[in-house]
Structure 1
């Protein structure tokens, strides 16, 4: 364990990699995989760590933003301006963007040479009482598995997402993606005055997102333009694959629980602090949600995501959500 005024984290090292888990937000990153094959020895560290130093003046989720964390409930607490008139808006269930657990410190529950278990208890007003994460490494492979246990205080259906966010290095990453039925674009420009993708429409491929200037190809990052984009891949068939110069990374999850993937492209499009035009990342967020808006907005019945109601939780059972990150 290492500590500072702002951070606590726990580390694991095994023959095929190393990882850190941050108490704040229960965030997993960095993760470095060591690859050994006929091509020699290589290392790939796919999860992003934001380029600013931990800042206690920032909201909890932004203070030391990195890697992956669970969002229960998932989404924003304020609707964007200028939603289409067919969308209804409503008050958020709580004041925490992406949930209480994404903004507060988790506690270490147990550890071994190959796993860490952390947990957080939520306030009494929250319908979820407790979250636990077990982060386990594969002793024989460059792979990490995460099990999230959700303990409900009362019966509730909530939008849920995982939030793996991957680095986009200067020498690039190929976005090979996964199978899906179609793409739903965000109902408004994700970053007003910056985002390029046409809002509130559908697309068929990552190589042809519609913009006012023609198709935008997102299969190779970074892009030559500054932008911020958010869209949802519907009916995903994991794994989602990214190819880095030093290795190929695969993200797997249970698509029965989390049927879609919300994709966030951050390509230096935010000039304001703490982003300051220097943040490059791609978020691949397995989700059961209407974008990141389900807590504050409802689309019309004919919208392609209208049936994404979230996961039903009950105090009579613990809900288990699993995902896996690996490299080759």
Structure 2
């Protein structure tokens, strides 16, 4: 029996794995947008040591984010390790929508997920509702993308970028460092790293947190992928997701099942967390909170939190140098190019305002 739940509308095709809450695949005109680790679906996945790593692919909601030192939930929470059951599924050829509910509670909260897209709109809209619960929660989306050395990465304005302890011994970014200039982040060599281009040299694993300058607007990250011939724009509601955490998985893990082969991968993890400092730290003083934004949300029995997130895909023109800016209009998403020129695709301009 097919494990995945499918949604289709014109050239858009999505596969969702309800057993672990993972958007396993998302294709536009047959082109795969997300990354899948090379061991997924093979016997080597048994060496992963966790459900998350065994099924490492696509996008999922992590709640709490990372490995919690406050609750006994598995890494990235039950939202990424247990079953979501479908509540509503609708397809009419032009549009497709699926709403699901998490079968387990997260810190007493009930979670629902909604995925939707329409033909002619190369955009995956994803909404989560967190209802009830108690305590301080961290969370983040976790989409992963294949990229090439030197691919351009653009961001909405950030007030600062910060690092914590490195994930692995093989890393490039200086630990416990800070910069207000994303083109000049301190490195372990004493030089600086330009975060607007994917690294050209592999053999390292890095994690860095970017703090939104405008935590009341729409934040975005745009990756111009040369090999795939596209531009992927990841958008978030900065009112509830004031940070974007970048996971640069670039061949820095030599043990099974990674084997030094998991490189050229970029995770764009929008959410509310204290980077890699941990769940307990996120509820108090930490590097993110010191920048003046929230690093956790307080759940309340009668509370309701809505997370809005979208991923748009545009064709990359020949000679495209990268993204200079992104604008969300009433019915269009416009991408400005470095050196001039612009691209636009249909977009629900009310999505982040309701």
TM-score bucket (shorter structure): 0.7 to 0.9
Residue correspondence of structure 1 range 176-191 to structure 2 within 5 A: 176-186=154-164, 188-191=165-168
Which residue of structure 2 lines up, in the alignment, with residue 53 of structure 1?
Answer: 40
Residue correspondence of structure 1 range 17-28 to structure 2 within 5 A: 17-28=12-23
TM-score with structure 2 setting the length = 0.76
TM-score with structure 1 setting the length = 0.82
Indicate how the Cα distance of structure 1 residues 49 and 222 shifts in structure 2: closer, same or farther if over 3 A, else same: farther
2:89 to 89, 105, 111: 111
1:166 aligns with 2:153: no
Indicate how the Cα distance of structure 1 residues 150 and 299 shifts in structure 2: closer, same or farther if over 3 A, else same: closer
1:254 aligns with 2:275: no
User: Helix, strand or coil: the match of 1:221?
Assistant: coil
Residue correspondence of structure 1 range 95-106 to structure 2 within 5 A: 95-106=73-84
Distance between the aligned counterparts of 1:209 and 1:141, measured in 2? 36
User: Helix, strand or coil: the match of 2:87?
Assistant: strand
8 Å contact from structure 2 (residues 240, 272) kept in 1:
yes
Which residue of structure 2 lines up, in the alignment, with residue 243 of structure 1?
Answer: 224
User: Helix, strand or coil: the match of 1:101?
Assistant: helix
Instruction: After TM superposition, give the deviation of residue 293 of structure 1 in Å.
Output: 3.0
8 Å contact from structure 1 (residues 242, 249) kept in 2:
yes
Indicate how the Cα distance of structure 1 residues 120 and 203 shifts in structure 2: closer, same or farther if over 3 A, else same: same
Distance between the aligned counterparts of 1:221 and 1:48, measured in 2? 15
What are structure 1's unaligned runs of at least 5 residues?
Answer: 35-42, 78-90
Which residue of structure 1 lines up, in the alignment, with residue 318 of structure 2?
Answer: none
Indicate how the Cα distance of structure 1 residues 232 and 11 shifts in structure 2: closer, same or farther if over 3 A, else same: same
Which residue of structure 2 lines up, in the alignment, with residue 146 of structure 1?
Answer: 126
Indicate how the Cα distance of structure 1 residues 301 and 116 shifts in structure 2: closer, same or farther if over 3 A, else same: closer
Instruction: After TM superposition, give the deviation of residue 12 of structure 1 in Å.
Output: 1.6
Distance between the aligned counterparts of 2:209 and 2:75, measured in 1? 19
User: Helix, strand or coil: the match of 2:289?
Assistant: coil
Residue correspondence of structure 1 range 1-328 to structure 2 within 5 A: 3=2, 8-34=3-29, 44-54=31-41, 55=45, 58-77=49-68, 91-113=69-91, 114-122=96-104, 126-152=106-132, 154-169=133-148, 173-186=151-164, 188-192=165-169, 194-213=170-189, 214-235=191-212, 238-245=219-226, 246-280=229-263, 281-297=265-281, 301=285, 303-306=287-290, 308-328=294-314
Indicate how the Cα distance of structure 1 residues 302 and 324 shifts in structure 2: closer, same or farther if over 3 A, else same: closer
User: Helix, strand or coil: the match of 2:52?
Assistant: helix
Distance between the aligned counterparts of 1:44 and 1:216, measured in 2? 31
- 1:67-100: CA deviation from partner (whole Å, max 9, x where unpaired): 11111211223xxxxxxxxxxxxx4312411112
Distance between the aligned counterparts of 1:67 and 1:302, measured in 2? 29
**Higher RCO structure, 1 or 2 (CA under 8 Å, sep 6+):** 1
User: Helix, strand or coil: the match of 2:219?
Assistant: strand
Which residue of structure 1 lines up, in the alignment, with residue 320 of structure 2?
Answer: none
8 Å contact from structure 1 (residues 52, 274) kept in 2:
yes
Distance between the aligned counterparts of 1:259 and 1:49, measured in 2? 27
Instruction: After TM superposition, give the deviation of residue 129 of structure 1 in Å.
Output: 3.7
Instruction: After TM superposition, give the deviation of residue 52 of structure 1 in Å.
Output: 0.6
Indicate how the Cα distance of structure 1 residues 116 and 266 shifts in structure 2: closer, same or farther if over 3 A, else same: same
Which residue of structure 2 lines up, in the alignment, with residue 87 of structure 1?
Answer: none
8 Å contact from structure 2 (residues 115, 125) kept in 1:
yes
Q: How many residues of Structure 1 are paired with residues of Structure 2 in the alignment?
A: 296
